[in-house]
Amino acid sequence: MNGKAVGELVQTMRVLLSPEGCPWDREQSHESLKRYLIEEAYEVIEAIDEGDRDKLREELGDLLLQVVFHAALADQAGYFDLDDVADTVNQKMVNRHPHVFGKMEINTSDEVMQNWEGFKREEGKKSILEGIPRMLPALLRAYKLQEKAQRVGFDWNDISGALEKLQEEINEYVVASENQDSDQIEDEMGDILFAVVNVARMSGVEPEQALQRCNDKFTRRFQYIEERLREEGEALEEAGLTRMDCLWDEAKRHGL
């Protein structure tokens, strides 16, 4: 690896953004490109989940393009370029790994994580929760908030505390529901979900991944119901819950 390909990609992007380049590319901004950055990141995750290395290479390229695109826009405006981006993150990694590039003695990954927040505070961060984007999917954001708090000891001693908290939040939701207080119902439902994330985290489960697996399972089983009803010439809307429940159990027996 000599960086030649990355340099060529940067040059291609400059041509696309030039007056002689692509009209669509020239119309883009950091704001207009946000959706593509998110989409490409999710496509990388999908390639990883599928175990498809060729697809992973392609999707990483698409994600890299978004980084290069943003850097090219910033360069065009005179703010920074891709070299500045790379230099910034390189210095950050060196500073946060004194056990590799300095003289600090750290031998385990647990020790690394225990010192990680200290490294970040030295960079001027006032809160350990800084750096967790508000735009993350809610389950993932909750997981990361709890993970950060856990690193400094703000956590249950064991999972029993998290389970008791979950039951407490469910009880409070029931009261809110009985009172028909819509604002309180929403608040309590949020507390339940946050507590579920805590239980998942303390079980060693990433809630976002667990819910996606459940979503996939629901999709497979429901599509089985649709297919079976279609084979029988029966409309989905007319099948009724009892019939659909039977087909759902049938899908489970088939390992779907």
The tokens of 61 are what?
């390229």
Mean pLDDT for 12-24 is 96
Length of the chain: 256
Q: What is the pLDDT of residues 96-128, one digit of tens each?
A: 888 888 888 877 877 777 776 666 666 767 788
Residue by residue, what is the 3-state secondary structure of 135-172?
CCCHHHHHHHHHHHHHHCCCCCCCHHHHHHHHHHHHHH
Residue-range definition of the domain harbouring residue 199 = 138-205
Q: What is the pLDDT of residues 19-33, one digit of tens each?
A: 999 999 999 999 999
| 73-77, 95-99, 153-157: range with lowest mean pLDDT | 95-99
Shared domain for 200 and 219, answered yes or no, is no
Number of domains in the chain: 3
Per the CB < 8 A criterion, the answer to whether 72 and 17 are in contact is yes
User: pLDDT above 90 covers what percent of the chain?
Assistant: 72
pLDDT-derived band at 145, boundaries 50, 70, 90: very high
Residue 38: CB atoms within 10 Å:
12
**Total-model pTM:** 0.66
110 within domain boundaries: no
Q: What is the pLDDT of residues 233-243, one digit of tens each?
A: 999 999 999 99
pLDDT value of position 107: 77
Mean pLDDT for 74-82 is 96
Domain boundary among 60, 94, 128: 94
pLDDT value of position 2: 67
pLDDT value of position 95: 86
99 within domain boundaries: no
What distance in Å separates the CA atoms of residue 85 and residue 248, rounded to the nearest whole number? 51
Residue 17: CB atoms within 10 Å:
17
- For the residues of 191-246, what is the DSSP string, one character each? HHHHHHHHHHHHTT--HHHHHHHHHHHHHHHHHHHHHHHHHTT--HHHH-HHHHHH
Say whether pLDDT at 207 is over 80. yes
129 within domain boundaries: no
32 within domain boundaries: yes
User: pLDDT above 70 covers what percent of the chain?
Assistant: 95
Residue 140: CB atoms within 10 Å:
17
pLDDT value of position 158: 92
Q: How far is CA 179 from the centre of its chain?
A: 35
pLDDT-derived band at 155, boundaries 50, 70, 90: very high
